Amino acid sequence: AGMHSDYLEVRGLSVEFDGFKAVSNVDLTLFQGDLRFLIGPNGAGKTTMIDAITGLVPATGSVQKSGVELLGKKVHQIARLGVGRTFQTASVFEELSVLQNLDIAAGAGRSVWTMLRRRPAEVSESIEQALETIGLSKLRNKPAGTLAHGQKQWLEIGMLLVQNASVLLLDEPVAGMSQEEREETGNLLRRIGGERTVVVVEHDMDFMRNFATSVTVLARGAILAEGSVAEVQADPAVQEAYLGT
Ligand code: ADP
């Protein structure tokens, strides 16, 4: 960390399920501060790619974070190296408050001894900052189960922030959100981008158009196109891939 620029380098990433190649020889390089949209028709391999990077499914090839190989490491080791992800269905502790969810996330991966010795002021400062960033400061004492769908997604992102994830892989964060929630999420992504690397699996082209950023199109497990939103939208191969589903 510090002065060194973070990067995520995916090389020749492949995932097979019983001989079926869900992800096929994918290369992708992302630098600190990059916001990258990952799109593609259903079944293209987007979620499997995130699963492979975060250690949920076995894969071949190479995934390096700032020179450290992630493939072969366990889920919690990869999380500790600063690679965090969200799921399509937000996984928060419904009975616990927003604050308690963040507190648990902040302690995740640490030993009990470290958690007992941690300086409370230090922790709550980063949690305070995360609450601000995700816009849930005023709802901190609400049980997470009572939050709106969008707010749960933001809480999940907040949980990654307090874990100090520098690479965030967000699986369809705006799916099922209202227009207002989408706009809020756009602002949230702009707030957390810049210093972190963010990959967003997305379907909504209108949502993406508001970002001056590049898009990677996945189809049948392989990269089909890369470019600006306008470029990939105009690409006949991309149009065909979407029509084929
Ligand atoms: P996307 O996220 O782009 O919609 P997925 O990564 O979910 O695509 O799926 C890619 C392909 O891999 C699909 O054909 C899907 O059926 C298959 N697949 C995903 N997970 C598994 C699994 N655990 N076992 C077998 N096939 C799977």
Q: Report pTM.
A: 0.91
Length of the chain: 245
- Amino acid (1-letter code) at residue 181: E
Phi, psi of 97 (to 5 degrees): -70, 165
Q: What's the complex ipTM? A: 0.97
| Both structure tokens of 33 | 């501060």
| Both structure tokens of 61 | 């090839």
Hey, whose CA ends up nearest to atom 20 of ligand 1? 48
pLDDT band at 6 (very low <50, low <70, confident <90, very high): confident
Q: Which of 87 and 65 is assigned the larger pLDDT?
A: 65
Ligand 1: atom nearest CA of 23 is 10
Task: Give the span between the Cα atoms of 169 and 167, in whole angstroms.
Answer: 7
Task: Give the span between the Cα atoms of 134 and 144, in whole angstroms.
Answer: 14
CA dihedral 31→32→35→36, nearest 10 degrees, is 30
CA of 57 to the centre of ligand 1 (A): 11
Ligand 1: atom nearest CA of 40 is 3
Q: Does any ligand 1 atom lie closer than 6 A to the CB of residue 216?
A: no
Q: Return mean pLDDT, the chain.
A: 90
